[in-house]
A and B are shown apart, each in its own frame.
Chain A
Amino acid sequence: MSLRNIGIVYRKELTDALRDRRTLISTIVVPILLIPAMTVGLGGFISSMIKKAQKDVPPIMILGGKDSPRTVEALEHLPSVRVIPASDDYARRITNKELRAAVRIPPDFDAALDHDEPAKVEIYVYESDMNSEIAGGKLQSFFQTLRQQTIEKRMAERNISMSLLRPFEVKRENVAPPEKVSGAMAGALLPYLVILMCMTGAMYPAIDLTAGEKERGTMETILTSRVSRTHLVIGKFLLVLTTSLTTALLAVSSMWLSSQLAARMFTEQLSAKGGDAAAQLHVALRANDLLVVFLLILPVAVLFSGALLAIALFAKSYKEAQSYISPLMILVILPAVASMIPGVELNLRLALVPILSTSLVSKEIFTGTYHWHLIGVIFASSCVYAAIALYAAVHMFSREDVIFRA
């Protein structure tokens, strides 16, 4: 094994990759910009949209209620909605989003309230439309208050205490330390993100260094040099591994920074709502946890790099390689997303499933739980899978029917 030759190939591939705009975008720009865009940008956008919708005074319609002036007047004086004249085409107008919601007040509603008779109010909304749901919510809240007031009035008239209706209160409190809560949040999201970024970081260079070289005609050039195919593929593999790990590290750093930024941005509004929601947003990542997770991610990155090189080498062109590799993303996303599914617990059998095991164990580590025997099994099995993938890549480079596939 000539480390010198591997080093020469690696340095050349690194120079080449650093000058390639597409590699730079997939390795550096995507993780740095995409994560803040997803967390701060998208989160901020959604939050501002919700705030705007809540502040808006939506147009609503009152259907019926001519014989219930008290309720109609109260509705008309609601500052959070704007009552427009009633018409029969209210459903069409809600669908067309000209109208946000409508409420049908049954005949003799005011009288029913006064005489302890049952009545049914109907609220019409466009489900899944946020603005319509908010308008419907405002109407519902009005009628809930009205119902509460009516109950209190009726109870008072009968000299019955309100405590009869609410014999006791239930209060739920979180006793988990804030870092465990934030760890659970980070633990669910981080493994998915890191595994996905390892894959996307390796994908482009793996294609470029194999099918891309075949397409550009440089594969034959390099194979006529003295370097052995094993040294060549290891040099290329190390470059793919570098981009894979760089992308993952940048994604984690970027996520940590964005979480800090998001926490600062949203602290005020969350604190105003009370509770320790603001504290929960602060993602507490400990150096030890990160180190162990990094060690577990390493064989996964090796697995991706080797497997992607082997698969992409089989393709004749860049496009063909993309068509082989794109469906693989689903195969990776499915086990990676396991960390976000509640109730999926790590056990010895799952510890042998590549990617899934790393995803699950990383989640546990971020919440401060270390099952060392399972961590050992996962690391060892991942190393075996990684070695198989690397061997496949080396083997593919020695197959002339693959290298010169026409």
Chain B
Amino acid sequence: MIEARSLTKVFQDKKRGAVRAVESVSFRCDPGYIYGLLGANGAGKTTTLRMLATLLTPTSGGATVAGYDVVAQPELARANLGFLSTATALYGRLTAREFVEYFGRLHGLPEDTLAARREQLFARLEMNEFSDRRCDKLSTGMKQKTSIARVLIHDPQVMIFDEPTTGLDVMTARTIVSFIRECRERGKTVIFSTHVMTEAEKLCDRIGIIHGGRLLTEGTLGELRAKHGQNDLEDVFVDVVTQAGGAPS
């Protein structure tokens, strides 16, 4: 389970002064569900997710990941968390196997558990063919599979995906999308951020629309359609953002 309570993040900028990147964002996602954060570039999605992943400390408000407070127990929160984004790259000079094992060890897995888990994951993701190849020699698809193995090696309860398909080709993006679905089927709590409406429609059980750092509305796809009298999610998004006084992207 993941719960954000009035999450707020203020950055100090030399030119602009205090910048409120995220303003009192609250939502909750239970195991076996996908919560989608839908927003344009710069809306505050990445900052919100970075606070949930304990990479950034909230200025005010708080959050729990699998029951652990992200501020008071960041290491325990991360121990139950898998974080994947296009910004989380691989160590080019390590092989895919070494890379995944490195993260398994850092998560405190005993060697025998790590070996069993790695074999299982590599077989499921069809990685055995390239497991001993250096990451900088892998194709984009192979890299994504290695990243997926990295976030799954410690079998976390909560998964966070920050625009995971940005810049990927159709086939690689499909691998990621089907992997996110699989996470839900396995009972994991999934938070997924995107600015691609079709992805959000296809994947998310609940959607929150974020703009200017504020969560403007949230609900199931059906609830959002009914609330805003629009059939298409893109129209719902434009309607919500326009009403909030912002320009839709």
Contact = CB atoms under 8 A, between A and B. Distances in A.
Interface of A: 5, 8-9, 12, 15-16, 19-20, 216-218, 220-221, 223-228, 400-401, 403-404
Nearest to A227: B106
Nearest to A224: B83
Interface SS of A by simple majority? helix
Given A218-B90, A218-B91, A404-B55, A5 B106 contact: yes
B83 A226 contact: no
Interface residues of B, number: 31
A216 B107 CA distance: 22
Contacts of A220: 55, 85, 87-89
Interface string B150-179: 100010000000000000000000000000
Contact of B89 (A15, A216, A227): A216
10 contacts: A5-B106, A12-B102, A15-B98, A19-B93, A218-B88, A224-B83, A224-B88, A226-B78, A400-B57, A401-B11
Contacts of B50: 404
A225 B55 contact: no
B7 to A, nearest CB: 15
Nearest to B50: A404
B53 A16 contact: no
Given A226-B79, A226-B108, A400 B93 contact: no
Nearest to B92: A216
A224 B94 contact: no
B56 interface: yes
B75 interface: yes
A24 to B, nearest CB: 12
A228 B75 contact: yes
A226 B107 contact: yes
Contacts of A20: 93
B81 interface: yes
Contacts of A224: 53, 55, 78, 81, 83, 88
Given A216-B92, A218-B88, A225-B78, 13 more contacts: A8-B106, A12-B91, A12-B102, A217-B89, A218-B91, A220-B55, A226-B78, A226-B108, A400-B56, A400-B57, A401-B12, A404-B55, A404-B56
A19 B94 CA distance: 9
B103 A223 contact: no
Interface in B60-111: 75, 78-79, 81, 83, 85, 87-94, 98, 102-103, 105-108
Interface string B44-60: 00000010010111000
Given A221-B89, A224-B78, A227-B106, A16 B94 contact: yes
A218 B135 CA distance: 12
Nearest to A12: B102
B156 to A, nearest CB: 10
A-B pairs with lowest CB-CB distance, top 5: A217-B89, A224-B83, A221-B88, A19-B93, A225-B106
B139 to A, nearest CB: 17
